[in-house]
Structure 1
Amino acid sequence: MSTVTPLEHTAIGALAGVTEVCIMQPTVGIKNALQEGRPVPRTLPTLYRGLVVSAGAMLPITAVQFGMNRFLEQTYRRVTGAEQPGTGGRVALAMGAGASSAVLGCPAEFVMIQQQKAGRSLPAEFRHSLSTYGPLKPFKGLSATVARESLYACGYLAVAPLLREVLQRQPAVADVPGGPLVLSGIAAGLLATVATQPADTIKTRMQAFPDNAAHPEYRSLASTAAHIARTEGMGTFFAGLGPRALRIVCAVFILNGTRNTIVDAVDAHRHAAAS
């Protein structure tokens, strides 16, 4: 059993999240532009616009997801006496960890989207958003963010490891070096992308049009979903699917790879020191 604590998992999650954003930020710029219906950025500096706030958002999100998932696992063991949750339990704990991070990610993504649209610097965007919309407006789209993050965290914290365990028992896959890891990562990443894409599109559209008086159609999750479906068709919910799929598949490898590498190293060091 791992000796790594929830607090240490939180620190690992922060490192993994920043690493993932620094690598994959261009896919975010492309995805947001496609979802909002504006021109796709063509230069690398423009694609990386919003990197600081995006990394600042992802750091606490993955930190909370990693740490909360570990905390919930330990709580489950104490309450039930079971060594490890079953499949349903692992899925439920991962979804709970993801949902808990939405309150941090929602306002940060609001600022990032406004910055990408306007091209302002980060300090200027903070001042503009606060003076124009007030302190609560950045939480617009929170319900959609909760739905997205719970399913996303389920993908990389539960589904990917579960699929890997299944594939490791299949000789045709297990005999291929890295086969279970690669196939489980791709499958979990694609599944998480498709499952979360509608909520992500709704969230992006709500945050891109924060003025409820000017755009009442984007006032709530339900009104936004209804407006998109009625005026643009169901396919719009999957706008930006390609770049987001690339990001999430890569994120599954980056996040799980970082976590597993550090956790294994810490456990090995502590076991060696104790022996």
Structure 2
Amino acid sequence: MSTQINEKQSVKPFWQDLFAGGLSGVATVGLLQPMIYYKNMSQARSIESQSTTLAGKMWTFSPRALYRGAGGFAASFAPTIALQTVANSVFANWMNPLAAAALAGAASSIVVNPAELIMIQQQKTGKSFLQTMKILVKTAGPQVFFRGLVYTAGREVAFTGAYLGLTPYMKERFKQMGAAPGPAHMAAALVWLPP
């Protein structure tokens, strides 16, 4: 009977982690997509500074342009955050929380890397998700989706290690110092204290 309770308890956090991670991934894309658009267009403009049409496209306020590629990005980013959250919970059973979070980030780069490439190309060309994938495969082969994977993994190790490993640790440290849970969580997201 105690085995059944443990099985139910292990399934419940998995689904909670999966849902919470996926929902926060979609919300993040919704909030950040316009900034990502301007960053990508600014970078492209600096590389292709001779193109007046590209410079004119950068400062649009049209939701159609700002959110170009957001569907594909959300369709990959939501599972990425869900994967990070679930993997972190699994890895935390065998290693310290910071290492578990960092490893979860590295694992998620396999999903993040191709998704970001497709989104950036969609923003530049205005083509659909499938058209963009076909063009990338035709021009550079399927391996193009994994170009830069090591750098993406490094970024995700730092990002996921911070938000899933370091932030909860810092929150507990601030609570031990007498902070209420809400302020402790906010401070943990902004400040690092040595152990």
TM-score between both structures, scaled by the size of structure 1: 0.57
- After superposition, what is the alpha-carbon deviation per residue over 1:219-256, rounded to whole angstroms, capped at 9, x for unaligned? xxxxxxxxxxxxxxxxxxxxxxxxxxxxxxxxxxxxxx
Aligned to 1:57: 76
Instruction: Give the alignment's Cα RMSD to 1 decimal.
Output: 2.3
Q: Relative to 1, partners in 2 of residues 1:137 and 1:162: Cα closer, same or farther, differing over 3 Å?
A: same
Percent identity among equivalent residues? 30
Equivalent residues in 2 for 1:1-275 (5 A)? 4-36=12-44, 37=46, 39=55, 40-43=58-61, 44-74=63-93, 76=94, 89-171=96-178, 174=179, 178-187=182-191
- Aligned partners of 1:116 and 1:146: how far apart in 2? 23
Secondary structure, counterpart of 1:178 in structure 2? helix
Q: Relative to 1, partners in 2 of residues 1:187 and 1:116: Cα closer, same or farther, differing over 3 Å?
A: farther
- After superposition, what is the alpha-carbon deviation per residue over 1:73-103, rounded to whole angstroms, capped at 9, x for unaligned? 22x1xxxxxxxx6xxx211111000000101
Secondary structure, counterpart of 2:60 in structure 1? coil
Deviation for aligned residue 1:5? 3.5
Unaligned runs of 5+ in 2: 1-5, 48-54
Secondary structure, counterpart of 1:168 in structure 2? helix
Deviation for aligned residue 1:65? 0.5
Deviates more, 1:177-186 or 1:20-29: 177-186
How many residue pairs were aligned? 173
Q: Relative to 1, partners in 2 of residues 1:8 and 1:170: Cα closer, same or farther, differing over 3 Å?
A: closer
Unaligned runs of 5+ in 1: 77-84, 189-275
- Aligned partners of 1:169 and 1:71: how far apart in 2? 26
- Aligned partners of 1:67 and 1:23: how far apart in 2? 23
Structure of greater relative contact order (alpha carbons < 8 Å, 6+ residues apart): 1
Q: Which amino acid aligns with 2:24?
A: A
